[in-house]
């Protein structure tokens, strides 16, 4: 037992810690937890422990009772990816090129038991499990730079994604309600409820305790109707009314609220446990109770179904037998107590939006659910197949059983779920869409953001602010800036820099420690003794009672710091509920904090120096109780200081490592974000993901669907520490541009930018657009397939013609040629009745591209053909650029350098920005970036723009003065047109500008004529289909307002779907071919010009019995 009062602090040698030196801890933390480690740790836990838990929960497969035949699994394990049926290493790059799935075989060892005969079978493949890149089953695990180069991979690629049929897919983090926790909800006194989502390896159920107009009832999906509360207590073994009330409310403060429920149970005349069992059995949905595995002795018990319901489906996370339900009764009593107390004291209510009441499911947990469901179906399929075999012949042997294990069942289920993003688990009635998404490789920052994104299943169309708000409980765990605009605002979030998500930990060490530090077994206490003490709840299970909650918590934390308990196990108190909660569950978000004792930090400057010299590691700090991980709930029991200067002022328990760690990786690259208006930081998080930059060092060897490559990226002159941690400097997404803040002609209004043509000539903003063209060869049922005809096989192909001039001898386009619209890039032929017919594939875009290379790769379905193209892009009018402060603008004018203003030393600006962009946006951080970058150029150093610890403006101004500049960053510029000094001081200096993906070349659209739709004869829709541009309702109203009738007539009729219809002058109905079917004549038929869609509408109305008539004449 730990004696907290006599514990001596280990901070006796504390010296003043340099504020900036604590940042040296961050690289060590990110190597252990955080960012990319979240998904990897989750998937590794699935491989190492999760599959074994699933196998143990479904260990026995009973095939036949007579004769007694069953399979018993012994072990399950996963190997690294290899080519099917070979031992050749399968690399991720090979899967991308050939369209294969990066997966490893899942093997089981099992015993085949036929009566008393037992035969062991080793290493039987039951599935191919997709392997997460850089997990411990990936060939890139712990590889060095040479290993990455040999595998043709980028060393900065963080992994954390899957490759399914050649496509990279990311499983997003899913936000869910917690399991095994009582949540009290509702407002007012009329209707309230307490909800528990109970989960074990074998069962997942939901119970609702409802308070409605004075009555308490239990709702469960296995029941036909709701159960009165007192009957549930009696079924759980608490039969006396007085004992029930003592468990719920020994003080009598809320007993009056129980009277209505008590009277209802008296009317039902149920007073014993057997009568309660009988009542419950009548309310059960019988068809769902069958098939429960139990011994013959258990099935022989009276009222077995009611007992099994209470054991397996009523809060199944609390263990019990078929005859003893004491702990479940105590748990249910807590539910009733908290629900009734919330009527008198609303502060006890639980908020769904409190971040401690959330659980995050990562790739490992989601695949765990999916694999468990597929594994059960796999076992059921074995049972059905063997039973069919038994009906036809004698008992199968081991070889037959192994043959009946269909590997495709689990493999196809996993691949289909990850490739579509749809998780459909019928056993739990769980249907989710969008769980996985294609990996967007627009920029490296976008890549990092996607693998740390949190997705909520809250309906985004609902205009509710509560689920979207930023709460204090999210501080340090969720980035306050990185969330989308619009409908998904607040629903899609990103982790903070040091946030960590826990995996499941065995609670046995926590249970043992709790009893060692003063917790007494709960079975020793009666109901009336509970309220005088605190109930200790471990992972949702009430295990003990204590009268000294603060001492128990303090001792437990000391045990955790001494490694007696898993380091991620959390403990916290709830005085309103009089409970101590302990949790070692998965899905909890936590973060590291420095421990403080006696108002002194346990982390010393000497320790930081040793870390810098690599003498000690981050694990040393965790193992020796210097730093510990605190989750959201436990953070409410702490007092955290922001820096060392606050420690003498109060009894702080913890100290922040660095205040900038509350931001995520996208917001972390913003210089001086604490000086900006908060929406600007949110805008930059979106702009930073759209910035063009290198996504990987092997970008030219990859075949992504579409990506951009910045030709001459530069590092920013003002950097944050997050930039260095996230490898942003190795793959930056912009240029350090010299910016003049001034008005220059009228082409810079509304955030437009004036750009220096000479800068563009030197490579500013120059990028390549890389895309791929897949050539699909279809396989048919008659064993024929599409093929690529060579030049010798196709006698009609004449390379002197324009459309064939780039086709090589093998029937594919040559590498390095310019491919133009209408030219053939694949001489494809498809099978016809007797012989093959041509179906040549032609390039359809209206701008030419260069063929980078042609890739032919082997796959499990034959040869894969992919053509990789590149298109050179130079900034032009209308292209979009943005600074790192959310101030985006398009290029409004490109000016010759000779006409641009310049300084007295001959420095020309690359960009001219209108000063009206500052007052309303309040991006003071951009101003500080400009002067800090200018001072950095003068001193030859990189400016520090880290949040909350950036360079001070006073120091920057002194550096500018020392370099001979104005302290304000302003200069006198000469006019490029007249050569005279401008009549104002110009704010001038370097600002990092990002080149965004929005380019005129991708959006430009024009059409004079072209394809139309078959039904309405109007132009097709969309740029890719070379469609027309719709004149919508607002455009129509605008033209009406201007009285532009001829433009309306031309746009909406002549240029759209003009049609000459036959109209009868007598009846006004439409005719056909000069004949009126109503009047039976042709004499009075007239030609009327109208939109074809109008004629179609008239015909549809006629089909419904509505006759629109057109009156003809001169009006």
pLDDT tens profile 750-762: 899 999 999 999 9
Cβ burial, residue 928 (10 Å; 0-12/13-18/19+):
buried
- Give the domain-ending residue among 351, 370, 393: 351
Looking at the fold, whether 193 and 154 belong to one and the same domain comes out as no
Note whether residue 1009 is domain-resident: no
Whether pLDDT at 979 is above 80: yes
Q: Please report whether residue 229 resides in a domain.
A: yes
**Mean of pLDDT values over 598-609:** 91
Residues 165, 299, single domain; the answer is no
Cis peptide before 1048 (omega within 30 of 0): no
The verdict on residue 700 lying in a domain is no
Check which CATH number belongs to the domain holding 155 and give it.
Answer: 3.90.1100.10
At 111-142, the pLDDT tens digits run: 988 878 889 999 999 999 999 999 999 999 99
| pLDDT, position 13 | 42
Which DSSP state fits 616?
A: S
Judged by average pLDDT, the poorest of 8-22, 201-215, 346-360, 1065-1079 is 8-22
Give the burial class of 1000: count Cβ atoms within 10 A of its Cβ; 0-12 exposed, 13-18 middle, 19 or more buried.
Answer: middle
pLDDT above 80: residue 16: no
- pLDDT, tens digit, for every residue of 767-793? 999 999 988 888 887 778 888 888 777
- Closest by CA to 470, choosing from 662, 620, 653, is 662
Shared-domain flag, residues 867 and 881: no
| CA dist., res. 294 & res. 974, Å (int) | 91
What span, in angstroms and rounded, lies between the C-alpha atoms of 772 and 705?
Answer: 5
Q: Judge contact between 766 and 874, C-beta under 8 A.
A: yes
Query: Do 884 and 746 fall into the same domain?
Result: yes
The tally of domains found in the chain comes to 6
Q: pLDDT for 880-918, tens place per residue?
A: 999 999 999 999 999 999 999 999 999 999 999 999 999
CATH of the domain at 1073: 3.90.1800.10
- Tell me, what DSSP letter sits at residue 1012? B
Q: Give residue 242's pLDDT.
A: 86
Among the candidates 630, 655, 680, a domain finishes at 655
Q: Does residue 6 register a pLDDT over 50?
A: no
Percent of the chain's residues with pLDDT above 90: 58
Range 319-334 burial, b when 16+ CB lie within 10 A, else e: ebebeebebbbbbbbb
Highest mean pLDDT among 344-358, 617-631, 779-793: 617-631
| Structural domain contains residue 31 | no
CATH number for 644: 3.90.1070.20
H or E, element range at 983: strand 981-995
Q: How far is it, in rounded angstroms, from Cα 912 to Cα 988? A: 9
Residue 445 belongs to some domain of the structure: no
Do residues 595 and 721 both lie within one domain? no
* H/E segment holding residue 742: none
Q: What pTM was estimated for this model as a whole? A: 0.89
Burial 1034-1043 (b: 16+ CB within 10 A, else e): eeeeebeeee
* Structural domain harbouring 1091: 1057-1114
Q: What is the rounded CA–CA span in Å between residue 772 and residue 704?
A: 7
Per-residue pLDDT tens digits for 234-258: 999 988 888 888 888 877 778 888 8
Bridge partners of 836, per DSSP, are 831
Give the residue-averaged pLDDT of 272-301. 75
* CATH of residue 288: 3.90.1110.10
Asked if residue 491 is part of any domain, the answer here is no
Task: Give CA 21 to chain center in angstroms.
Answer: 33
The CATH number for 888's domain is: 2.40.270.10
Mean residue pLDDT of the chain comes to: 89
pLDDT in tens, 800-822: 788 888 888 888 999 999 999 88
- Asked whether residue 1 carries a pLDDT value surpassing 50, the answer given is no
**pLDDT beyond 50 at 1049:** yes
Same domain as 238, residue 191: yes
pLDDT in tens, 994-1014: 999 999 998 888 888 888 999
pLDDT of residue 375: 93
User: What was the pLDDT predicted at 782?
Assistant: 78
Looking at residue 70, its pLDDT comes to 85
Are 887 and 746 in the same domain?
yes
Whether residues 128 and 49 share a domain: the answer is yes
Instruction: Decide if pLDDT at 1103 tops 50.
Output: yes
**9: pLDDT confidence band, cut at 50, 70 and 90?**
very low
Which pLDDT score, from 0 to 100, does residue 959 have?
94
Q: Phi and psi at residue 152, in whole multiples of 5°?
A: 60, 40
Tell whether 782 and 730 lie within a shared domain: no
Beta bridge partners of 69: 64, 114
Where a domain ends, among 939, 970, 994? 994
Distances (CA, A) of 659 to 189, 470, 601, 1112: 43, 18, 16, 78
Looking at the fold, whether 368 and 508 belong to one and the same domain comes out as no
User: Is residue 209 scored above 50 in pLDDT?
Assistant: yes
Q: Is the pLDDT of residue 290 over 60?
A: no
- Output the pLDDT for position 86: 83
Average pLDDT over residues 551-567: 94
Q: Does residue 796 register a pLDDT over 80?
A: no
Task: Tell me: do 648 and 671 sit in the same domain.
Answer: no
Q: Kindly list the distances between the CA atom of residue 151 and the CA atoms of 143, 157, 158, 185, 1057, in Å, as whole numbers in the listed order.
A: 10, 12, 15, 54, 56
β-pair partners for 646: none
Q: Is residue 137 part of a domain?
A: yes
pLDDT at residue 755, rounded to an integer: 96
Mark whether 528 and 604 lie in a shared domain: yes
Paired tokens of 149: 């180069």
Residue 930 lies in a domain: yes
Report the Cα 660 to chain-centroid distance in Å.
Answer: 23
């Amino acid at each position: 037992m730990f004696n907290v009062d006599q514990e001596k602090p280990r901070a006796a040698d504390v010296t003043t810690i340099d504020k900036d030196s604590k940042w040296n801890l961050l690289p060590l933390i990110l190597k252990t937890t955080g960012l990319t480690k979240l998904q990897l740790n989750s998937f590794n836990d699935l491989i190492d422990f999760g599959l074994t838990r699933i196998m143990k929960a479904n260990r026995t497969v009973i095939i036949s009772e007579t004769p007694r035949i069953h399979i018993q699994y012994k072990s399950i394990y996963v190997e690294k990816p290899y080519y099917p049926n070979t031992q050749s290493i399968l690399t991720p790059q090979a899967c991308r090129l050939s369209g294969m799935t990066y997966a490893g075989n899942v093997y089981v060892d099992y015993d085949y038991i036929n009566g008393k005969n037992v035969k062991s079978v080793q290493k039987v493949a039951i599935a191919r499990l997709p392997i997460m890149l850089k997990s411990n089953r990936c060939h890139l695990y712990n590889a060095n730079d040479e290993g990455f180069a040999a595998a043709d991979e980028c060393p900065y690629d963080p992994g954390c994604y899957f490759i399914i049929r050649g496509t990279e897919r990311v499983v997003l983090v899913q936000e869910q309600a917690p399991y095994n926790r009582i949540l009290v909800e509702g407002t007012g006194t009329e209707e309230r409820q307490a909800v528990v989502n109970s989960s074990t390896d074998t069962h997942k159920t939901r119970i609702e305790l409802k308070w409605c107009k004075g009555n308490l009832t239990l709702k469960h999906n296995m029941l036909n109707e709701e159960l009165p509360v007192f009957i549930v207590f009696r079924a759980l073994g608490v039969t006396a009314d007085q004992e029930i009330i003592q468990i719920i409310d020994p003080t009598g403060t809320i007993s009056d609220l129980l009277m209505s429920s008590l009277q209802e149970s008296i009317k039902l005349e149920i007073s014993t446990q057997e009568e309660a069992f009988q009542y419950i059995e009548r309310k059960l949905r019988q068809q769902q109770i069958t098939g429960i595995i139990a011994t013959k002795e258990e099935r022989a018990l009276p009222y077995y179904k009611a007992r099994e319901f209470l054991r397996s489906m009523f809060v199944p996370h609390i263990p019990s037998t078929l005859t003893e339900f004491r702990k479940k009764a105590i748990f249910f009593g807590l539910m009733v107590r908290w629900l009734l107390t919330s009527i008198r004291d609303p502060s006890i209510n639980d908020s769904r939006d409190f971040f401690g009441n959330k659980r995050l499911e990562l790739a490992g947990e989601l695949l765990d659910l999916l694999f468990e469901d597929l594994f059960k179906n796999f076992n059921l399929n074995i049972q059905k197949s063997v039973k069919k075999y038994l009906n036809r012949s004698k008992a199968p042997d081991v070889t037959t059983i192994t043959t009946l294990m269909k590997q495709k069942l689990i493999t196809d289920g996993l691949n289909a779920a990850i490739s579509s993003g749809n998780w459909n688990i019928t056993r739990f009635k769980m249907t989710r869409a969008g769980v996985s998404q294609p990996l967007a490789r627009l920029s490296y920052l976008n890549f990092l953001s996607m693998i740390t994104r949190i997705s909520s299943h809250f309906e985004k169309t609902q205009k509710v602010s509560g689920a979207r708000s930023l709460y204090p409980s999210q501080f340090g765990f969720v980035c306050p800036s990185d969330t989308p605009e619009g409908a998904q605002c607040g629903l899609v979030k990103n982790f903070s820099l040091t946030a960590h998500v826990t995996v499941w930990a065995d609670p046995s060490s926590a249970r043992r420690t709790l009893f060692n530090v003063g917790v007494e077994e709960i079975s020793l206490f009666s109901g009336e003794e509970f309220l005088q003490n605190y109930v200790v709840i471990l992972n949702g299970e009430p295990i003990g009672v204590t009268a000294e909650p603060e001492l128990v918590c303090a001792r437990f934390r000391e045990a955790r710091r001494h490694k007696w308990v898993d380091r991620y196990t959390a403990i916290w108190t709830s005085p309103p509920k009089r409970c101590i909660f302990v949790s070692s569950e998965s899905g909890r978000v936590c973060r590291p904090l420095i421990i403080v004792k006696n108002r002194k930090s346990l982390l010393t400057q000497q320790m930081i120096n040793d870390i810098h010299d690599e003498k000690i590691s981050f694990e040393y700090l965790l193992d020796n109780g210097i730093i510990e991980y605190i989750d959201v709930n436990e953070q409410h029991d702490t007092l955290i200081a922001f820096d060392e200067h606050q420690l003498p002022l109060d009894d702080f328990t913890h100290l922040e490592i660095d205040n900038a760690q509350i931001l995520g990786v996208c917001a972390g690259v913003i210089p001086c974000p604490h000086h900006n208006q908060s929406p600007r930081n949110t805008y930059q998080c979106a702009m930073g993901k759209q910035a063009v930059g290198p996504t990987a060092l092997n970008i030219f060897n990859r075949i992504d669907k579409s990506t951009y490559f910045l030709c001459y990226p530069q590092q920013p002159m003002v950097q944050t520490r997050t930039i260095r941690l996230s490898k942003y400097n190795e793959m930056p997404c912009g240029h350090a541009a010299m910016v003049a803040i001034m008005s220059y002609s009228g082409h810079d209004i509304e955030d437009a930018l004036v750009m220096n043509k000479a800068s563009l000539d030197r490579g500013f903003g120059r990028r390549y657009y890389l895309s791929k063209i897949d050539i699909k060869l279809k396989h048919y049922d008659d064993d024929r397939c599409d093929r690529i005809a060579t030049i010798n096989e196709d006698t009609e192909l004449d390379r002197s013609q324009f459309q064939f001039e780039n086709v090589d001898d093998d029937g594919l386009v040559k590498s390095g040629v310019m491919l133009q619209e209408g030219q053939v890039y694949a001489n494809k032929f498809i099978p016809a009745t007797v012989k093959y017919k041509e179906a040549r594939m032609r390039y359809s875009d209206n701008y030419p591209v260069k063929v980078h290379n042609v890739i032919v790769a082997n796959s499990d379905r034959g040869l894969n053909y992919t053509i990789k193209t590149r298109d050179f892009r130079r900034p032009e009018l209308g292209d979009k650029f943005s600074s790192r402060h959310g101030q985006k603008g398009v290029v409004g004018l490109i000016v010759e350098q000779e006409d641009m203003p310049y300084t007295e030393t001959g420095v020309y600006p690359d960009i001219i920005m209108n000063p009206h962009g500052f007052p309303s946006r309040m991006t003071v951080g951009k101003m500080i970036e400009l002067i800090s970058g200018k001072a950095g150029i003068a001193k030859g150093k990189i400016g520090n723009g880290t949040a909350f610890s950036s360079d001070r403006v006073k120091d920057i101004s002194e550096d500018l003065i020392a370099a001979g500049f104005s302290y304000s960053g302003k200069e006198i510029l000469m006019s490029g047109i007249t050569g005279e000094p401008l009549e104002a001081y110009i704010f001038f200096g370097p600002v990092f500008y990002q080149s965004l993906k929005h380019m005129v070349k991708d959006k430009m659209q024009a059409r004079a004529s072209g394809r139309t739709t078959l039904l309405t004869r109007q132009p097709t829709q969309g740029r890719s289909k070379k469609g027309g541009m719709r004149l919508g309702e607002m455009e129509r109203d605008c033209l009406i307002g201007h009285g532009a009738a001829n433009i309306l007539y031309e746009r909406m009729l002549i240029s759209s779907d003009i049609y000459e219809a036959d109209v009868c002058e007598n009846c006004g109905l439409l005719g056909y071919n000069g004949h009126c079917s109503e009047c039976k004549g042709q004499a009075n038929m007239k030609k009327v010009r109208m939109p074809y869609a109008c004629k179609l509408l008239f015909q549809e109305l006629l089909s419904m019995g509505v006759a629109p008539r057109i009156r003809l004449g001169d009006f």
